[in-house]
Every structure is written in C-alpha cells, then in structure tokens.
Structure 1
Amino acid sequence: MLSFTVFGQGVNFEHLTFDEALAKAKAENKLIFMDCYTTWCGPCKYMTENVFPQEKAGEYFNPKFVCVKFDMEKGEGPELAKRFGVRAYPTFFIIRPDGTMQHTVVGGGEVDDFIARIEKGLNEKTSLDYLNKLYEKGKMNKKQLIAYQIALLDAYDKAKSTEVSEKLNAVLKDKDKMKKEYWPIMENDGYGSDNFKLVVNNVVTFRKNIGKEKVDSYLYNNYSRAIDNTMRRGAKEPAAQLNQIRQELANLDLEKKDQLTAKLDLIEAAVNGDVEKVIALASREDSGNDVWSIVSALTTLKPKATKEQAGRIAALGNKFIENAAPGREKAYLETVFEGFKIAAHTGIYFQELTYEQALEKAKQQRKRLFIDCYTSWCGPCQYMANKVFTQENVGDFFNKNFICVKYDMEKGEGPELGKKFGVRAYPTFVIVNPDGSIRHKLVGGGEGEEFIKRVEESFDDEKALGTSITKYNEGNRDKAFLASYAQTLLDLYDPAAKDVANELFITLSDEEKVSPDYWFIFDRKELSPKGSDAEKFLLANRAKFNATKGKEVVDTRLSKDLQRELMEILATKGQAIKATRFDEITKEVKSLKLSNEKSLLGLVAIGRAVKNGNVDRFLATCEKEMPKVKADKRLLNYYLSQLTTRGTDAQKARWKKIADKYL
C-alpha cells in the first residue's frame, strides 16, 4: 500500500478500513485520528467544510496521525460506534496502533481551539485513558482532578463529570478557581451558576490571570444567552430575570455592554408583548441588535400582531433577507417573514408552489396541505374563490392550520394530480399529510363557517377519510364503520362506495336492512342500481320500508329514475325516442302503484306530445296533464317553452297562459 502526505493542504483523511488504518499506524509509528460523523449532523459538516480544509489543520494533523473518517450509519461505522461507545456527533478519537482508545473529543470548534483539545490527548498525562485509570486508583491531586474534569467535559461524559465536579468543589478554594489551569472548567458553567457569579464578583482578578478578551467574551456570551432564554417556552418570571440582568450589567465594566443593553431593550419589549416597540427597535439601523435577536423577538410576538403590524414586519423582513448570506440563512429568513406575510393576508393565502415544493414545505413546517382542485369553468369553484376564500375568518383558520395551494385540474400538473387524488367533481378539496398520504377529501363548497366545520373533520380520526381508508385496508368490517365509510365515498363520487355498500349489504340481517340506519343503500341509485340485489330487496320488502321510512319517501326513490329519464327525454330535442319506450315506462309506473303515478303518467303523455312535434297537440296535452305533474317547474318551463318558439302568436299566447298557471 503506497500513500504520502501532501503538505500545504488540509487534513488528509485516507480511504482506509479500520484494520488498514491500524496496520498503517503501526508501520509508521503513528496514532490514528478518527472522525466519527453522520451525513445529517450540522457540526460534522462544519468541521468537514470549514476546519479540516485549513492549512493550519493539515500541518498539525498530517505529520502526527493516520487520519480516517467513518459515517456512523454506513459500512463499518455502526460496529465502530458500538465498539467505542459513540453517543453524539461529531466524536473524535485518538487511537493507538493496538486499537485501544487514548483520548476522546466530542463536538467541533474553531481550528486553534480544536487543536488545543486534541493536543491534550497527545500528552499522556492529560489524555482521557490515562486519567481514567489514575482516577480508578484514587490517587489524584487537585491539578490532576482539574485535568481529568477538562478531559471529561471534552468527551461529553456528563455522569463522570458531575461526580468529579463534586470532588473538585470539595477540595478547591475560590483562589484555585481563579487560576489559568481551571479556566476551561469555568468556561462550561453558564449564567447563574456559582462559578459564573465568582467571575462577575472577581472580574479584575480573572482578567489578570486569564486575559481580558477571554473573560469578557465569556461574560458577554453568557449574558446574551441568558437574555435569549427568557423568551423560551416555560421560562420562569422572564421579566424579573431581565431586570436582574439589567442591574448586574449596570455594575459591570464590560466592553460590549451597549450591545447587551440593546438586546435587553428588545427582548424586554417582546416579553411584555409590546409589538410596536419591537417593530420600532427592529427598524432602527443603529439598534445594536443582531438579526437573530430581532427575528426571535418578532417571532415571539407573531400571535399578538394585528394584520397591519404583520404587514409592516413582513416589509421589514425584506431588508434582512436581502442582506442574508445565500443558503440556509437566507432560506430560514424567507420562511420566517413569509409567515408574517401570510398573517397579514385577508383570506386564504394560496402559495404558488409545485406539488413537490408544497409537500417539501409541509414536511419542513410539519403542516398538512390544503389543496383546491378547481377548473376555470366551474361556477361553484369561482364562488368559493371569490366569495368564501376571501373572508377573514376563513383565511385565519386555513392559514394557521395548512399550507394552502390550488391547481387547475385541466392545466399544468393538474390532470396528473386529479388522477392521483381521484378527483371526479368540482370543486374537490384534498387535505394531504406531510408524507404525501391523503388525510381527507371534500367535494363541493359551502359558506364560510359551514365549510370550516367540514374541514375540521380532518382533525378527527373518526371522521377523516385517510383514517377510514387505513381501517378498511386493515380489515375493519364493523357495520357502523362500513356504513360511515360508504356514505363518505358516496359524497366524494368515488365508485368504491358501491363495493363497500355491497359488503355491508351482505352482512346485514333482513331486519337491519329495513332499518332507517341503512336506508342510504337503497336510496341512492349508485348503490342499488336496476337489477341489483339491493333493488330486488327493496321491491320485495316495500311494505316494511313504507313503515320505517314512509310511503312517500319510498315511492320517491322508486320513481326517481323514471322521472329523471322522462325529464332527460324532454331536454333532448330532436332525439329519436321509440314509442315503445313510453309504453314500457307506462307499464312500469302502473306496476309499481306509486303515489305519484298520475304525475309520472302526465310526464309520459307530455313526452309523447313533445316528440310528436305538433304544437297544438302539445298544448292540448299540457292543458290536460300539467295539473297532475309534480316535477322541477323551472326545468319544465325551460324545456317545454322551446317547442312553442316556432308557433303562431295564438299558440304562444296559449302557452303563456299554461306556463303562468302551472309553472
């Protein structure tokens, strides 16, 4: 195996197996530096892209180590993770040629700081393995305990670190903690801890021993984090905490105190719910606040902002987005301020996204998609778009709960999405889970509050379509469930409704079939078409159905198809209709002995006259039969009036009298 180290470059990670790395380390009398990472780990990527490529890193690591890296989720990574007890990412090991661990560092850092942490592992007396063994012997002095605690903190060993910390506190005095060698431990204790208070109360001594820059940076960072933490969910008495910090800063000579005071003013306004003050401070060029503090304060107040205030915040965000670095930072700010743009919008905010983009956004924001499947010619679609979706209460509900998109089912990706979602009528509204599965589906619109209530059913596992599909596919054949599922599919014009209803029909007893609970099977032609077992049962048990549903309801169901056919005959001018068909309908009507028999036979007579084409005969038939007919008067007027357009003035006048009297 031939390899060489290239100087003047970053860390040279070699493509070796772990055993090959051990063999090479033994041959070259080197230690192994092993980077344990994952592809999704942000700090891992930072080290790979920003630290290890530096020349300084290469100059330090390449001469001293055989450098290798392993993805802990691929190849031999999982086995190595188990072997060395990897619990966090990134984890870095210094390993001897015999395969034993000498030192561990968890987490990255800037190049100088990271090299200093690794250097401790090269020095046997400050390496984790040496100190572990020494501690087990119970023979550690104060200096060694300090070194051990630092090594444990670097290795992210919380349990052992807590144990050693207690022993240190028992033997160390404040003057010991002020020494330079103890500073790495002090740095790990944040605002409010005893060590932090020690630094604040003895800042002059710490600056002298440690250096002003390091001490001031420690104080600034911890005060900054403490201020930010007051906005966290569940923060205890945030206003009192901010006031305490303000008092402490007043007595502290700190170089960047003005920046902390500016952050205090901003966060205090946010904690107090003062939207106007936060907007004013965020708008100032000289506010002294960084963009992330401003974004955090604005986001906290989002639920309290009016639409007008949300609009101003969205406009303010353009400045921050423009100045942001390309990539994640800019994308994050765009998402944040788009939220304010949506909050400022009256009505539903439909986003212009492809379906894949919308789905990706749903995953990121952990929201469902609300999809409006429409066509340009659909009247109800236009009504929803112009009258319902523009309402403020409707927008507030949908914008809060969904990412909203709309697609024309006849353009672009609409036809494909129509097939995917089984769209058979317009408008159809589909609610999609972030994983792309259908949660719920609705056909037809409705007024604002009514429509919201229909959509709220998607939140209920007992009513959501997606849940029903899952239950059905998993074998649930409970009668009540099948009844509910069949009716849901029926409302969606889904042909699967017939199959589900058939399954239900087969399981029902004769007594259950005539129950009002299952009348929907017989009431809808789609579920009990002509010649089906369901229709046969209805005809055979008509008297029982009359008792449970009422004769008029049952007769209406039996006559519905015949009346529909007769109305269609009247609507289709010029179509050849065989006289025998009128004879067949007449025979069927009389055999059923329907309560609206006279109405149906009247329509048969009028139909014959229409197809005959003789205006006088048509008028005479209407005068005789119209008093008996009970049908849609508006449609009858529209269909029948067309026959008289070519008649004489007398015939037209005669028709007008009929229409005025009966239609």
Structure 2
Amino acid sequence: MLNLIAFGQGVNFEHITFDEALAKAKAENKLVFMDCYTSWCGPCKYMTETIFPQEKAGEFFNPKFVCVKFDMEKGEGPELAKRFGVRAYPTFLILRPDGTVQHKIVGGGDLDKFIAKVEKGLNKKTSLDYLNKIYEKGKMNQKQLMTYSVVLNEAYEKDKSEKVGKELDAVLKEKDKMKKEYWPILERSPYGSDNFKLVLNNIGTFNKNIGKEKVDKYLTSCYTNAINNTMRPNTKEPLKVLQQIQEELTKLDLADQATLTRSLELNQACLEKNINKVIELAGQVESNKNGELWSIFNAINSVRGNISKEDLNKIIVLEDKFLGFADENGKTYIKNYFENLKIAAHVGVYFQDLSYEDALAKAKQQGRKLFIDCYTTWCGPCKYMSETVFKQEKVGDFLNLNFICLKYDMEKGEGPELAKKFGVRAYPTFVIVNPDGTIRHKLVGGGEGEQFIERVKESFDDNKALGVLDAKYNNGDRDKAFLAQYAQVMVANYDPNAKAIVDELLKISTDEEKLSEDYWFIFGNSELSPKDSEAAKFLIDNRSKFNETIGKEKVDNRLSEGLFREILMVIAGRGQKTDVKRLDAIGREVKALKLSNEKTLLSSLAIAKAVKTENIDKILAACEKELPKLGKDSQMIAYYLSGSLAKANDTQKARWQKIIQTNTEK
C-alpha cells in the first residue's frame, strides 16, 4: 500500500546521503538514479515541477531505482559535481551500487522521450559505459555506432558524438541512412547539411520509413531555426537564404507550412525595414503556435529604430487580440510590452498612474529610475510645465526613454507624505529616484524644452547629481572642489543647508581662492553672503581685487542688489517698513560705495521718496525728471509704479501716458 501511494505521487526522491543511496541500492539490488541540479536552472525546475511529479514517472522510476537529487552548489553537491564531471544542468546519472557510472543524460524533456533515454541506460548493451568500452576496443558494428552516436549526444558529449557520426558517414550508404535505425542521428542534422538534403531529396521514402508526422516535425524544426538564424548579426546573405527556403517550401506540403511562410515573410520584412509589412503580418497572427507572438515582438523590436508613432499606434490596437493567445505569464509579458509601445507612441511625457510603492516596485523590476513631478494646482510654473513643456515631443521622448514618469499633487493623496520624504520646499520640484528608493537628484523650477532636458541630464553625472553629492558629504568628503560643487548644486535647488556648506568651505579656503571666479557664486549671491556677514565684509574689504578678477560692473551690481531691491519694494507700494529716514540712509550708502550705477540708484531713490508722499502729482513730477535717466530700467520702474498710480484722475492718467510714451520712444 505504501509503495502504491509513492507511485501515485510521482518519483520518490529520498532525502539521504550519497553513500546511503549506494548502500540502499546494494541492499535492494537496484541502481541509483541521481538528479544533479541547481536552484537557478530553468530546465531543472521544469523536470522537478512538471515531469517527475507525474504518476507515470513514479511507476517507471520507483521500482527500478533508489532516486536521489543533489544541488550541485550546496552540501555534497560540489564534491559530487567534481567527482562525476558534471558541467551542465540538469545532468542525470545512472549509478551502480559501487558508485561507478553506467549512464549519463544531460537535459530534460517530455516524459515519454525522457523515459526512452533512461531505458537505454538500463539496458547494459546500450548504456554509455558499455558502449564507451566497446568503442575503445574498435569492435563496433554499424548498429552499435548509430546507438553510440545517439547516446553520446544525449550525454552532451558533442565532440565525440560528431567523431562517431563521421565514422558512420564513411561506412553507411544512402539507403542505410533512410532506415528507421538511423533516424535518431539524422533528425539532429541542421538545415543545409548533407543529411537534411538527403531527407529533402527523398521525402517520399522517409515518409514511408519514418512516418510523415516525424519527418514534418524535423523539417519544420530545421526551417524554423534557419529562418530565425537569418536575424542574427553577421549572418551571410540572409535575404538569399530566405529566398532559398521560400523556393523549397513551395515544393513541400508541411503541416505548419503557413506558419513557416508567415515567419519567413516577417524576417524578410524586418531585413528590408518594411514596417508596413511587419504590421500587416502582425495583424494576421491567429495563435501563439510555435511562438508566433514572440516572433512578432522580435520583428517589431528589430524595426523600432525606424518606426513612427503613427505606426506604433497601429500595432497597439492588437493588444487585446494577443492577450487572448497567452497564458497568465504570457499575459503579464504582453501587457508590459504593449505598455512600452504606448509610452513610445505617446507625444509628450507619459505620466503613469501608479502609487509610489507600485512605481518603486516597477523601477526595481525594470532597473529604471523614477522621474517625479512634484506640483500643486495653484502653482503657475507647474501648470506651464504640464501644459506646455511636458507636451513637447522631444521632452517626452527623452524622459520616457530614460525614466518611469510620475506626477503627484503635493497637497493631495500621497503628496504631503512624499513632499516630506523628498524635502520639497518650492514648486515645481522634480525628483529623480533610484530603483532602490534613494534620491538621485532634485531640480527646482522648470524651464523650456531643450534647457530642461539638459538640466535633467545632470542626474546622469555623479559630479552634479544631488543624491550622489549628499552621499559623498555624509561619507566625510570635505575636499574644497567637492564642497564648492556641492554648494552650487544645493543653491540651484533652493536647499536651506547651502549656506552651512558655504561657511564650511570658506573656513578652509585661502584668500586667493576666495578671490577667484570659482568662488564668485558665493560672493555674488546675497543669500550666501548676506549683509554684515563675514563673506559680505570680505567682499567690501577686497572690492578692488574682485573688480580685477570678476569685473567692476558685476561687483557693483552685487553691492547694489539689496539696496535696489529695497527701493523697488517702496516704489511697488510694499515697503511699509522702509521710511524716509531709511531712504536717506540708502542714499548715503550708495554715494559712499561709489557704484558705477550710482545715478540709476539715486534716480530710483528719488521716485521712491515721491511714492512715500502718496501725492500722485509729486510722483509724476519725479518720474518726468528721473525716468529718462534710468534707461533700460525705466520700463521695470514704470511697471512697479502701477499700484501707486491706481487712484490717479483722468488728467493725471493722461500725464502718465505721456511720460510712458516719451520714455518708450527714447
């Protein structure tokens, strides 16, 4: 009863040591059947999960063998692999109780064919060990040579199998090769070989001796491989080969002739870059017999570099049809494949609707980075990026190719949590995330198409990607050049920690280094060198030297930057904290600095003082006098004055229009 239960459960692989298996085989007068496998080997898994659990397999193996299996990379496996010369997986050994090899089979297959291979090993006179010994004595007859060639091939001893095959060719006549006994050797012969030509030229005889079904299967396999090989790199005259196959197929009546013809036409279309033909043939597929779907996908891949978005859309409509031909695993592949086509066909950025967790899982699976648009509904630049920049074909093609693209409203759903996670402080912010979830880079603010692409490309550069620089800093890198680069990237991303990095850099830098152009990003930025800071003091104390290295105009503009901003706020009606005394102080400071743009600043200051009087006539009088002195800045001042002149009467409005017109003409 126990034996019957074991049989019904398939092959009974016992969990015992190798020595215990040999001892048990000796005690039970059996042979040992040993499965040599690895955990990563696909065919090994197929045999374990599909073939050996079958009841028929148990009925065959369990009475005849002590069955064991060993992972060749664990436990006893490595030593056994070395002992028996196991180099490919799966390898199956039939062993005598004394531990010697009687037979070897490399590779699996369907159950009936596999059992037939094992039966050769059970029969002493057809086993590999016996035939090896007979061959070494030079006493093999034709029938034994044929059997030996087959057994060698099944044991993956190709060189020896080919050698024996050549010996057979030397002694066999054509009529011998047409016999059933020779078929196991002949059916391994590839397209174009002498044996293949023998079958082709004597197909009637082979159909009679072997059976049409087997002959058709052989020819179909040869033609399938030959057609597929025409797409391999460095294939000589592939179109000529296809033409030859086409001529041969017209003279045959194979069961899968229509499939072969379609496959042949598909490869011709690929080689000729005939995209319309590829699309036409894709639409003709009615099943996945002989892997037709995968041939179609390979064909599409081969012409992707030349295919238009319009043509891609013609292929995309086939998705539902193709899904109907596939199993669950195949459906997953097809969905992913068509998603990639949809992304490629999309004009503009293809933002995927995924949760962050799902997007990260997808990134890990595909080994791609995430590009995340962190926006809000009220942000003007966000809208511009969404409605203008991200709809551009160039921008879409670049981002879609390099990233999985996503967008999240930072005030809804996952947004607030992601904003906290990514440290988003301004909008729009674009975050590039590695497949492992770490931040690769951040960009704050948008830009026009080409300019924005160049900014995103910074993420590819380890010297510019913020996440990489963060990691270097956290790992203790304090090189001056690194700190300077790190600070500049932080400034570009409005990172509030930028000033701390700048202060750290300035402490270890010489005066000569501070005066160089490389450090001007610090002294030329009022946020990094604010008023009354050590950096601002250094700028004032070394003003003449900065004039030499940076240029007087740039230096003067930087020194006047804060003062001019304060004046503008008054002119715009938003400088409530700046009274007339403060304006007088600004005037004195401007004169003391002896700036090259002193006249412009003082003219702007005069208009600001008039604004403080809240007397429109005085404001207009100041504008008539001062705007002509402002040159290119006059239009900006006029723009900022709009609020202060909102209550002007018709006469005053007419006077203002005349002032604007006069300055515009100038």
**TM-score calculated relative to the size of structure 2:** 0.82
Give the match's secondary structure for 1:406: strand
Greater shift, 573-582 or 274-283, is seen at 573-582
Alignment check: 8 A CA contact 2:569 2:575 kept: no
**CA–CA distance in 2 between the matches of 1:113 and 1:277?**
39
Alignment check: 8 A CA contact 1:92 1:106 kept: yes
**CA–CA distance in 2 between the matches of 1:533 and 1:142?**
99
Aligned twin of 1:404: 405
1:328 Cα deviation from its structure 2 partner: 1.8
Asked if 1:307 is matched to 2:309, the reply is: yes
Structure 2: runs of 5+ lacking an equivalent? none
- 1:171-223: CA deviations, max 9, x gaps? 55545544444433333332223332232233334334433322221111111
Aligned twin of 1:377: 378
Aligned twin of 1:342: 343
- 1:446-480: CA deviations, max 9, x gaps? 33333334444555666666666677677777766
**CA–CA distance in 2 between the matches of 1:561 and 1:3?**
94
**CA–CA distance in 2 between the matches of 1:158 and 1:432?**
49
Greater shift, 418-427 or 614-623, is seen at 614-623
Aligned twin of 2:391: 390
Aligned twin of 2:298: 296
Give the match's secondary structure for 1:6: helix
**Alpha-carbon distance change, 623 to 192 in structure 1, aligned in 2, over 3 angstroms:** same
Aligned twin of 2:558: 557
1:545 Cα deviation from its structure 2 partner: 0.4
Alignment check: 8 A CA contact 2:570 2:611 kept: no
1:400 Cα deviation from its structure 2 partner: 3.8
**CA–CA distance in 2 between the matches of 1:92 and 1:21?**
15
**CA–CA distance in 2 between the matches of 1:627 and 1:25?**
110
RMSD of aligned residue pairs (Cα, Å): 4.3
Q: One-letter code of the match for 1:214?
A: K
Asked if 1:197 is matched to 2:197, the reply is: yes
Give the match's secondary structure for 1:347: coil
Give the match's secondary structure for 1:104: strand
Aligned twin of 2:89: 89
Q: How does 1:578-657 map to 2 (within 5 A)?
A: 592-597=593-598, 641-642=642-643
**CA–CA distance in 2 between the matches of 1:301 and 1:452?**
26
**CA–CA distance in 1 between the matches of 2:470 and 2:199?**
63
Structure 1: runs of 5+ lacking an equivalent? none
1:329 Cα deviation from its structure 2 partner: 0.8
Give the match's secondary structure for 1:92: strand
1:554 Cα deviation from its structure 2 partner: 0.8
Aligned twin of 1:244: 244
Give the match's secondary structure for 1:335: helix
**Alpha-carbon distance change, 17 to 572 in structure 1, aligned in 2, over 3 angstroms:** farther
**CA–CA distance in 1 between the matches of 2:232 and 2:128?**
36
Greater shift, 600-609 or 104-113, is seen at 600-609
Asked if 1:273 is matched to 2:273, the reply is: yes
Aligned twin of 2:492: 491
Q: One-letter code of the match for 2:47?
A: M
**CA–CA distance in 2 between the matches of 1:503 and 1:61?**
75
**Alpha-carbon distance change, 634 to 287 in structure 1, aligned in 2, over 3 angstroms:** same
**CA–CA distance in 1 between the matches of 2:160 and 2:467?**
49
**Alpha-carbon distance change, 3 to 637 in structure 1, aligned in 2, over 3 angstroms:** farther
Aligned twin of 1:426: 427
**CA–CA distance in 1 between the matches of 2:520 and 2:223?**
70
**CA–CA distance in 2 between the matches of 1:643 and 1:25?**
105
- 1:35-66: CA deviations, max 9, x gaps? 34444443333333332232211211222333
Alignment check: 8 A CA contact 2:628 2:634 kept: no
Q: One-letter code of the match for 2:445?
A: G
Q: How does 1:99-498 map to 2 (within 5 A)?
A: 99-132=99-132, 142-170=142-170, 172-284=172-284, 290-321=292-323, 323-362=324-363, 365=366, 367-434=368-435, 436=437, 438=439, 440-458=441-459, 483-495=484-496, 497-498=498-499
Q: One-letter code of the match for 1:319?
A: K
**CA–CA distance in 2 between the matches of 1:482 and 1:175?**
83
1:242 Cα deviation from its structure 2 partner: 0.7
**CA–CA distance in 1 between the matches of 2:40 and 2:498?**
45
**CA–CA distance in 1 between the matches of 2:512 and 2:404?**
47
Alignment check: 8 A CA contact 2:206 2:215 kept: yes
**Alpha-carbon distance change, 240 to 359 in structure 1, aligned in 2, over 3 angstroms:** farther
Give the match's secondary structure for 1:394: helix
Aligned twin of 1:542: 543
Aligned twin of 1:65: 65
**Alpha-carbon distance change, 452 to 193 in structure 1, aligned in 2, over 3 angstroms:** farther
Give the match's secondary structure for 1:63: coil
**CA–CA distance in 2 between the matches of 1:429 and 1:9?**
57
**CA–CA distance in 2 between the matches of 1:559 and 1:266?**
71
1:527 Cα deviation from its structure 2 partner: 3.7
Q: One-letter code of the match for 2:64?
A: K
